[in-house]
A and B are shown apart, each in its own frame.
Chain A
Amino acid sequence: MKEPDILFLIGGPQGGGIESAGQIALKTLVLKGYSVLGTRDYKSNIMGAHSYYTIRARFSRPGAIRFPVDAVVALDAESILTHFTDVKPGGLFVYDSGVLKTKIDSIQPMEKALKDRLKELFASKGLPPITESAIKIAEENGVKLVPLPLRELVRKLAEKTGASLTSVSKAVNTMGLTAMMYLMGVEPRCVEKGIALHFAAKKKVVNINVEAARLAVEYVESNFGGPRETLPDGPHRGKKVMLATGNDLVAMGKLAGGLTFQSYYPITPASDEAIYMERFRYYELSNDAREKLGVPKLGTVIVQTEDELSAIMMALGAAAAGARASTSTSGPGFALMNEAISLAIMAEIPVVLTIWMRGGPSTGLPTKEGQQDLLHAMFSGHGDNPKIVLASGDHVEAFYDAIKALNWAEKYQTPVVHLLDKYLASTTTSLYPDEIDSSKATIERGVRVDDPSEDYKRYAITENGISPFAPIGAKDMILTGLEHTEEGFPTEDPVIRDEMMAKRRRKFETIAREIPPEEKVVLHGDPDAKITLVSWGSTKPIILEALKLLEEKGVKANFLQIRVFYPFPVKEVLDVLTRAETVINIEQNDLLQAAFLIRGFTGFTIKHHIKKLNGRALWDTEVVQAVLEILETGKEEVVVKGGA
């Protein structure tokens, strides 16, 4: 039997339960023993705009989503019109049959550009500019149509549960989802378990949604028949599974990593990290820690500040006073923090800046994917501005990197920029206990003196460039952003200036030496492959999927993932790139920022590039297409454009 690999999406208006439907679907599939990946696409809007949740499930963890999908649930006219071409031939299109006469122009939230494209398409086929035309085209494409009379089903649901029409009308998401999952071979009782798990304590809501699911199954069965076959159970039944987003995992990593202070200003897609952490800011210690420390719970102070300037400065103050501190933001907030990064470098204050990238420039695409802040991270801060920059490739890396970033910040008394992005932030996956295991992590704080002697100097000149750290309050001292003596007094003396610049440079040489090569870059796949793909950040699992697909097509490639950009791993990168016959760089930014850095630091010019700029998740299939195109034509640049 071929391993099942299912892929579907559910679309509807923002605020219409799309997030809930996605969560229920993920939970249902996890209960069935599957490994899942679910990503949410939404607009900068609270209610009404189109949003959708794409889910892929199979036995091994899915690394990418892609279109076309096996099934679409479209809960409103805009969803039908947005996704009618996103289903494979033979796939399912579940939709609200009550909106077929809806005119394209009457859908207010829909983008004009999309309306124009659709009207042109429909006109070219002699079809009127209404929703039904999309259904006709889907049918022509060989898609199996599953119209649901949602309004009628809602009325039945109200009758059956005795609840008001308004309170049950929200359950259309569950109806659509259940109808689709049932036809895909998921047992209704699994969906019911998923519903119960999702709404947990809310008994009444569970009841309404379970009844909604049953009505949907009943309707589908009597009108379209049951599924061809039942989906087999996955191999993870009986396991403990964690369903978490990248935001969640960074929050968990930070708390496990001993974070004691976080400040932040609300911004998409970063704030969910701090908000999640805030829910657990006074937490139970593990048995061992409780016994050894003699305290059952400890807390982390989390402060929502007035702006990002305050967020970073508060974190710097807390860090100077001995706290393990971080702040979290996205590109625009990070821009405001630049001056403070320079202070942290000069005053040698440990701090982690977790940067959740999104589409820029400026406010750009605030809720969409982008990897446009690599150069921003590298060059943040004025003056000579060395710092540590690391980028996480997936959920598991995000968890351990959050801990590692805190370690490095304190060990080297420097800002650490931890780069992540919107895709990781709002993508959920299933994780197992051996993958997220805090006992595998180590906490290191570097040379700290809690009780310094009289002759302690905050900026002592040392061979490795690292001055022992004493927190504010341990002794009289001065931390400063002015050039300073070993004691921290300001100086403009030319000799001391040179000594201090050299000390700080030695610190970065120490960092470059001490970070193990395998933590700076990872070469995935066959090291002897003639083709090397280069990328960084959340494209990792997507490119790993692409490698497998390429191999099926007889193309052998490996993948160089750059994890640490500063200090730049010159030797490690050059070693790989000079061995390859063809190097293809993959990034979600227009300036090809990683390639720019590679050229600057190593002198190696990458000749081929694949980029994605439209704010949608990268697909493994489009990477494969683009690689093949480059290999065939020798093209320098391919822009991939998938997504709705």
Chain B
Amino acid sequence: MARSWMEYRTPAWVQWCPGCGNFGILAAIQRAISELDIEPKKLTVVSGIGCSGRSCYYIKGSNMHVLHGRAIPVATGIKLANPSQTVIALGGDGDMLGIGVEHFVSVGRRNIDITVIVHDNAVYGLTKGQAGPTLPAWIQTKALPGPNLHDNINPVLLAFASGYTFIARGYAYHVEQTKELIKQAIEHKGTSLVQILQPCPTYNNIMTKQWYEERIYYLNEEEPDWDPVVSTHDEYIAKMPRILMKLVEWGDKIPLGVLYRNIAKDTFEERLSKIILNYYEYPPGRRPIEVEGKPLIDPWTVFKEKVVETQKI
């Protein structure tokens, strides 16, 4: 019997503005983990800085609130130290694709088994509405002194180029559908991205609820034969053109759902276990480091290549 999603709430006051998309994302995460029946202590939410960063105080887990842009490397360290933990790294578009974009890219190269959730509202909310990295050029949201001169980054295409093996896009006000995407992302073995489009009723007066809802559509509804799962190289080659078309589709129509999933690639943890053979049994966070307060190794044995036996002359 799965736990109720209510069990994943905490006593903290949820401090977001009324109507904020973060509420929907929070509910979707809580429902996803409750349906997956993950024990709170076995869940770790690592969050960056910004409005969405507060999520780690609202989801019952073994959590960590870190620095602006740095949720992904912390989540990586936690996962590698304790691979049995379910780890989610979340942050806004500014956090993940602005200040922390190097980690957003590099985690894909490792295919660490964590879930990255980007709360994408195209503005910096907590610092009062500056342009985020996903805000298209020439848009002037209400807090901007002039139009945005930067082009917008495409998070799903960047994730694809970086090696993510699960890429999905959801919409914050659609809790049920977003919950399903998050569940699949958590269950996927490897680095997963869920980009969640999120109106910011306070600062983004252009990309509003209405703006999004005129454009979004679910791939599995409009294109019933949509199948983004790749398990072999041949399948990759065959499906790639259509997947790429969907990854770049943005404007009048914005596709939602699972955009890409590759089940052929091994995770970083699996790669490690080919070198450290008992890695899963003795991970860094859960292995002995001493016996009766004494070291486990003798440098003269382990590093014997540095030892010169002088009697051999």
**In contact, B275 and A236 (Cβ under 8 angstroms):** no
**Contact with A489, one of B12, B275, B285, B299 (Cβ below 8 angstroms):** B12
**In contact, A438 and B299 (Cβ under 8 angstroms):** yes
**In contact, B275 and A478 (Cβ under 8 angstroms):** no
**In contact, A314 and B67 (Cβ under 8 angstroms):** no
**In contact, A309 and B276 (Cβ under 8 angstroms):** no
**In contact, A243 and B306 (Cβ under 8 angstroms):** yes
B127 within 8 A of A: no
Interface string of A219-238 (1 = CB under 8 A from B): 00000000000000000111
A85 within 8 A of B: no
**In contact, B77 and A197 (Cβ under 8 angstroms):** no
Complex interface residues of chain A between 423 and 462 (CB less than 8 A to chain B): 430, 433, 436, 438-439, 441-445
**In contact, B276 and A241 (Cβ under 8 angstroms):** no
A289: which B residues are within 8 A, CB to CB? Answer: 291, 294-297
Known contacts A256-B299, A282-B277, A325-B284; A305/B73 CB under 8 A: yes
**In contact, B295 and A31 (Cβ under 8 angstroms):** no
B85 within 8 A of A: yes
**In contact, B313 and A288 (Cβ under 8 angstroms):** no
- Count contacts between A and B, CB distance < 8 Å: 289
**Contact with A321, one of B10, B82, B278, B282 (Cβ below 8 angstroms):** B82
Known contacts A30-B310, A298-B287; A477/B301 CB under 8 A: no
Q: How far, in Å, is A247 (CB) from chain B's closest CB?
A: 12
Number of chain B residues whose Cβ lies closer than 8 Å to a Cβ of chain A? 72
**In contact, A321 and B81 (Cβ under 8 angstroms):** yes
Q: How far, in Å, is A51 (CB) from chain B's closest CB?
A: 22
Interface centre among B63, B80, B279 (most CB of A within 10 A): B80
A293: which B residues are within 8 A, CB to CB? Answer: 288, 291, 296
- Identity of the chain B residue whose Cβ is nearest the Cβ of A309 in the assembled complex: B70
B256 within 8 A of A: no
Q: How far, in Å, is A177 (CB) from chain B's closest CB?
A: 17
- Identity of the chain B residue whose Cβ is nearest the Cβ of A200 in the assembled complex: B305
- Identity of the chain A residue whose Cβ is nearest the Cβ of B49 in the assembled complex: A481
Interface residues of chain B: helix, strand, loop or mixed (majority) = mixed
**In contact, B275 and A347 (Cβ under 8 angstroms):** no
**Contact with A237, one of B275, B289, B303, B311 (Cβ below 8 angstroms):** B311
**In contact, B307 and A473 (Cβ under 8 angstroms):** no
Known contacts A255-B302, A438-B298; A477/B62 CB under 8 A: yes
Interface string of B44-84 (1 = CB under 8 A from A): 10100000000011001111111101100111111111101
A347 to B313, CA, bound (A): 55
B272: which A residues are within 8 A, CB to CB? Answer: 301
**In contact, A478 and B308 (Cβ under 8 angstroms):** no
A89 to B67, CA, bound (A): 61
Question: Among A55-63, A143-151, A258-266, A369-377, which stretch is in contact with chain B?
Answer: A258-266
Question: Among B101-109, B184-192, B209-217, B228-236, which stretch is in contact with chain A?
Answer: B101-109
B286 within 8 A of A: yes
Interface centre among A244, A260, A300 (most CB of B within 10 A): A260
A399 to B306, CA, bound (A): 14
A313 within 8 A of B: yes
Known contacts A310-B103, A472-B44; A243/B308 CB under 8 A: yes
**In contact, A325 and B77 (Cβ under 8 angstroms):** yes
**In contact, B82 and A31 (Cβ under 8 angstroms):** no
Known contacts A298-B278, A299-B278, A441-B295; A33/B287 CB under 8 A: no
A323 to B76, CA, bound (A): 13
Q: How far, in Å, is A80 (CB) from chain B's closest CB?
A: 32
Complex interface residues of chain A between 288 and 332 (CB less than 8 A to chain B): 288-289, 292-293, 295, 297-301, 303, 305-307, 309-311, 313-325
B307: which A residues are within 8 A, CB to CB? Answer: 240-242
Known contacts A33-B310, A242-B306, A281-B275; A313/B282 CB under 8 A: no
Known contacts A30-B310, A322-B285, A323-B285; A443/B77 CB under 8 A: no
B61: which A residues are within 8 A, CB to CB? Answer: 476
**In contact, A313 and B66 (Cβ under 8 angstroms):** yes
A411 within 8 A of B: no
**In contact, B64 and A479 (Cβ under 8 angstroms):** yes
Q: How far, in Å, is B94 (CB) from chain A's closest CB?
A: 16
A438: which B residues are within 8 A, CB to CB? Answer: 294-295, 297-299
Interface string of A488-527 (1 = CB under 8 A from B): 0110000000000000000000000000000000000000
**In contact, A281 and B276 (Cβ under 8 angstroms):** yes
A280 to B275, CA, bound (A): 11
A284 within 8 A of B: yes
B293: which A residues are within 8 A, CB to CB? Answer: 442-444
- Identity of the chain B residue whose Cβ is nearest the Cβ of A442 in the assembled complex: B293
B225 within 8 A of A: no
**In contact, B73 and A472 (Cβ under 8 angstroms):** no
**In contact, B77 and A27 (Cβ under 8 angstroms):** no
30 examples of A-B residue contacts, CB within 8 angstroms = A31-B310, A193-B313, A197-B308, A240-B300, A240-B307, A240-B309, A252-B299, A257-B289, A258-B290, A284-B301, A293-B288, A293-B291, A298-B296, A299-B276, A303-B76, A313-B103, A316-B77, A321-B44, A321-B82, A321-B85, A323-B81, A324-B289, A343-B66, A443-B289, A473-B62, A476-B40, A476-B60, A477-B62, A478-B63, A481-B67
Interface residues of A (CB under 8 A from B): 27, 30-33, 190, 193, 197, 236-244, 248, 252, 255-261, 263, 280-286, 288-289, 292-293, 295, 297-301, 303, 305-307, 309-311, 313-325, 339-340, 343, 347, 399, 403, 430, 433, 436, 438-439, 441-445, 471-482, 489-490
Q: A242-B307, A257-B289, A280-B302 are in contact. List 6 more A-B contacts (CB 8 A).
A: A190-B313, A197-B308, A282-B275, A295-B282, A301-B276, A476-B61
